[in-house]
Structure 1
Amino acid sequence: DVLGSVRLEEARRHQDKAREFKKQVKTVKDKEVLRELKQNIRDESQRYTRLKRARWSVLTDSRNLSEAGEEFLNEILNTHNDLATCYAMKEEMNRLFELRDKEEAYYGWMKRFMAAKESGIPQLQKFAELKERRLRGLVAHATHPISTGKLEGMNNKNKVAKRIAYGYRDEDYFFTLIRYQSSLGFPTIP
């Protein structure tokens, strides 16, 4: 999760600044300077907290954000350049997944990988190197937009059923429960 690691790195910077100010507080005797340092500590701690809370806004598709969410996101992105770069890349990659033209997808992905490598952000560079190896599959998604989402959803339902069924002595009931839950997600084949 590139956005998550960049966001956390930015948050750590604010936390480190706050610690730095706390160290200075111990050595300062002047009340005015002390008050200013304490205010700086509060400000950095608030920035840290806001950035940690920004996860949902950063990872959500921009079309699904409320007006307040957009405002909060823009505020975060305006103050954190690396995060803004990663966010822009995420939005562009979402657009690439919606393409249905193979050539356009190929050139789009190659362009994104080059931009990521030139960004100077280590997490983004590593992401680009890893995904570039999967370029063939990413481009194939343009002509065959297949997803394992349904399968993963069914596996999660089965895990929940297994947790609920812990301690059941009747195995038939457990498998009936799984079949019932499966029939809710998929049409049954006669």
Structure 2
Amino acid sequence: MTRLIQYDDSPPHGARGRLDDHGAIAAILEPTGVRLERWEAGATLSPDAADAEIMAAYAEDIERLKARGGYRSCDIAKMTPDHPDREAMRAKFLAEHVHDDDEVRFFVEGAGLFYIRFGGTVHALECTAGDLIVLPAGTPHWFDTGERPRFTAIRLFTTPEGWVARFTGDEIARAVPLYQGAA
């Protein structure tokens, strides 16, 4: 289930509210240009499904997104609790950063937590299977897989260079609670 917890972006970074209504969450995020949609993630995939198999299962969705957003390429981000690099991969995006390109993710399995910072608030958005999130270029955010990650997401790009993270240097990600994993 998609969830949103809002935290103050200034000390002591207290939690202000919690929502699990998808429509209400999308409405809160909309003024910043962040788009949250509910799509069907119904393909049956084997636990060891190859990237090509995942892309084939969601080919229509991928083409629709490419046409709508001008995205030229895509890949698969997949993380499991037994992945040998899970700790390093988690740490890589636990600092606030921005991209020169939109960040587009369609979660087809599992869950992960985006922290999106705007309007004096950190919006901790748990995305689950079926969630499509589009963070506009330049949106300050970070992402947490949790200690025992389990997710598969289709990522779309306009250019490979646009997806490179530019870290803001702000330490706020250290002050807001980490993702405990899907409930």
* Same fold per superposition (TM over 0.5): no
Q: Which has the higher strand share?
A: 2
Q: Select the structure that is richer in helix.
A: 1
